[in-house]
């Protein structure tokens, strides 16, 4: 049977019935890829590391799992406008599902509020081509979220940030998929933390799916060091990080993330931009896989935790790569030989053979 997305696949765990109009673009069913070279780099004996490639969702991030639910439920209740604050991926996803809803004959406008200058080009261009109304503000994500929360209290417009409980419900499906594929839960789940919806969703998902509490994974969440309110125990007024997706100083699901950490006997720690970028290069260059910078916080965090002796021998670890590498080509180029890439040469075969240092066949 043709796969038709996360709602139909996992409907028994979701608040849907045959009255719910299902707006799906076949999200989910993302690959869980073995990462033996990262495993080796942890120096933990017998460890198995898998990367959950959430950037292979239809709009290139895990947000699609939550958005299929949020937009379907918004339409079920008769809404015709949705809005979100975003560091980029939520806006791309909301815009895509609104477009799909319109194509299906529903009236549905999408408005997105984003921090000016801090959204990777791939994400911004997605929101635009999907037909969202994009509003850039002189402020950060936290400012945008405050505006959106207030607007949705005052006006008839549906909030599709992860404060919307259907977003969290939908995102649980990633945990189900991991358990289905491994035929058990991993020992550890490493995940980037921004607004803290995703770590909340994974924990809820593992609790649904794994009845025996001792068989559930430890959740290891990682914030960027310049945007680590949960680690520091205080709101960060001016968050900064190269991982713009998680440049957030006051996460909406702060308490729920702490609960996930405590109930799973996990941890929430921070990784520096340097550690994140090193992991970002490793994911590309050692595994041939890709992700955006913020996603690499999961692998950077695993390496840090392993070094500190916090990962047991023989364990199975899943690192969630939350967003697609093509979202942020600028960081990819900055992390490479930018100067060489910007140079151009005459279209001359001999000259190119010389530059490539090729020796003629004998
Ligand atoms: N990774 C990526 C690629 C993200 O886009 C986000 C969040 C996260 C991790 C963190 O997830 O917020 O659930 O803790 N992006 C949001 C957005 C804030 O607007 O796209 P979280």
User: Which residue has the CA at smallest separation from atom 4 of ligand 1?
Assistant: 245
pLDDT (tens digit per residue) in 191-241: 999 999 999 999 999 999 999 999 999 999 999 999 999 999 999 999 999
Ligand 1 near 61 CB (within 6 A): yes
Q: Is 57 in the pocket of ligand 1 (CB under 6 A)?
A: no
CA angle 142, 143, 146 (to 5 degrees): 85
What's residue 64's pLDDT?
98
Q: 260 CB under 6 A from ligand 1?
A: no
Q: Whose CA is nearest to atom 12 of ligand 1?
A: 195
Edge to edge, what strands does the sheet with 133-137 contain?
A: 133-137, 109-115, 81-85, 158-159
d(CA 108, CA 138) in angstroms, rounded, equals 27
Kindly give the residue spans of alpha helices, DSSP state H, lying in 155-265.
Answer: 165-171, 173-182, 197-209, 229-232, 254-263
Q: Going from the N-terminus, what domains does the chain have, and what CATH number goes with each? A: 6-60+167-334 (3.40.50.1100), 63-164 (3.40.50.1100)
In short, whether 196's Cβ falls inside 6 Å of ligand 1 is: yes
Indicate if the alpha-carbon torsion angle 321, 46, 181, 178 is positive or negative. negative
CA of 354 to the centre of ligand 1 (A): 45
Bridge partners, residue 32, by sequence = 52
Rounded CA separation 248/143 (Å) = 10
Report whether 46 contacts 75 (CB < 8 A): no
Q: What percentage of the chain's residues is helix, strand, coil (to nearest 5)?
A: 45, 15, 40
Is residue 324 helix, strand or coil? coil
Percent of all residues in the chain with a pLDDT value above 70, rounded to a whole number: 100
Q: pLDDT digit string (tens) for 128-178?
A: 999 999 999 999 999 999 999 999 999 999 999 999 999 999 999 999 999
Interatomic CA distance for residues 305 and 131, integer angstroms: 42
Rounded to the nearest 10 degrees, how much is the dihedral formed by the CA atoms of 197, 203, 209, 215?
A: 160
Structure tokens at 260: 């996930």
**CB of 335 within 8 A of CB of 292?**
no
Ligand 1 close to Cβ of residue 193 (< 6 A): yes
Residue nearest to ligand 1 atom 3, measured at CA = 323
What's the gap in Å between 89 CA and the centre of ligand 1?
Answer: 7
The per-residue pLDDT for range 65-117, each reduced to its tens digit, is: 999 999 999 999 999 999 999 999 999 999 999 999 999 999 999 999 999 99
Evaluate: CB of 249 within 6 angstroms of ligand 1: no
How far is it, in rounded angstroms, from Cα 239 to Cα 224? 9
pLDDT category at 340 given cuts 50, 70, 90 is confident
């Amino acid at each position: 049977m043709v796969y038709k997305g996360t709602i139909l696949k996992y409907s028994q765990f979701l608040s849907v019935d045959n009255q719910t109009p299902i707006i799906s673009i076949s999200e989910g069913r993302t690959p869980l890829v073995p990462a033996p070279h990262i495993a080796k780099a942890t120096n933990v004996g017998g460890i198995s590391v898998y990367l959950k490639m959430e950037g292979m969702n239809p709009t290139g991030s895990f947000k699609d799992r939550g958005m299929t639910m949020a937009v379907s439920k918004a339409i079920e209740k008769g809404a015709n406008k949705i809005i979100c604050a975003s560091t980029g991926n939520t806006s791309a996803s909301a815009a895509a599902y609104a477009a799909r809803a319109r194509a299906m004959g529903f009236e549905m406008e999408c408005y997105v509020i984003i921090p000016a200058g801090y959204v990777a080009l791939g994400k911004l261009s997605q929101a635009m081509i999907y037909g969202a109304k994009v509003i850039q503000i002189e402020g950060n994500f936290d400012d945008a979220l405050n505006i959106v929360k207030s607007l949705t209290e005052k006006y008839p417009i549906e909030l599709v940030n992860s404060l919307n409980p259907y977003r969290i419900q939908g995102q649980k499906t990633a945990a189900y998929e991991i358990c289905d594929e491994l035929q058990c839960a991993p020992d550890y789940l490493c995940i980037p933390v921004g607004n803290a919806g995703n770590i909340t969703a994974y924990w809820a998902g593992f609790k649904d799916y794994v009845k025996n509490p001792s068989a559930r994974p430890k959740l290891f969440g990682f914030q960027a060091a310049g945007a680590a309110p949960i680690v520091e125990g205080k709101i960060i007024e001016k968050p900064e990080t190269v991982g713009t997706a998680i440049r957030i100083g006051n996460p909406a699901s702060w308490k729920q993330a702490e609960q996930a950490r405590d109930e799973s006997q996990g941890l929430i720690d921070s990784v520096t931009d340097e550690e994140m970028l090193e992991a970002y290069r490793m994911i590309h260059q050692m595994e041939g896989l890709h992700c955006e910078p913020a996603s690499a916080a999961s692998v950077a965090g695993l390496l840090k935790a392993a070094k500190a002796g916090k990962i047991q021998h023989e364990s199975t670890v899943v690192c969630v790569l939350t967003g697609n590498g093509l979202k942020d080509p600028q960081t990819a180029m900055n992390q490479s030989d930018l100067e060489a890439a910007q140079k151009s040469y005459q279209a001359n075969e001999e000259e190119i053979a010389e530059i490539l240092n090729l020796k003629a066949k004998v």
